[in-house]
Amino acid sequence: MCSTKPRQAFERLAPFDIGWVRVANPQAFIETGQIIAVEIYTFGLWTLNLSRIIDKVDKPHRFGFVYSTTPMHVETGQEKFLIEFDSATGDVWYELEAVSRPRHPLVQLGFPIARALQHRFARDSHRRIRVAVVAQNTILS
């Protein structure tokens, strides 16, 4: 079974619960077709970006999802969020992969800043999941 605490963290959309990023509809279930509304605080403003879950991974040792941006997102692309649990060692891996390009004209102009914010999100998201894993005395790679 996929390690309970990291899986529960994913089910609560904890990878997005990092202060400057949060889910506007935290009651959303990780199911194909579900819209995830992500609020991002940058430059003194909150923006709302909508993405739709297009794939769900729910296997004994792997759990996660892939979502695709909608026209109501400042970028166009997809992101994958996946955890994998090794029951033999207790290790947990968190994979976050994004493939995107700017959609909104301001994001196009500020492309380097947008990429820096994506990297910051990845670091902060990994830290957030690590908290769930450390509480269970497992190792996050």
List domains and CATH numbers for the chain. 4-134 (3.30.530)
How high is the pLDDT of residue 138? 43
Distance CA 54, CA 78 (A): 9
| DSSP three-state, residue 92 | strand
Q: Report which secondary-structure segment, H or E, holds 119.
A: helix 111-134
How high is the pLDDT of residue 10? 86
How high is the pLDDT of residue 3? 58
How high is the pLDDT of residue 141? 41
Distance CA 95, CA 82 (A): 5
From first to last of its 141 residues, what are the pLDDT tens digits of the chain? 555 777 888 888 989 999 999 999 999 999 999 999 999 999 999 999 999 999 999 998 999 999 999 999 999 999 999 999 888 888 888 999 999 999 999 899 999 999 999 999 999 999 998 887 776 544 444
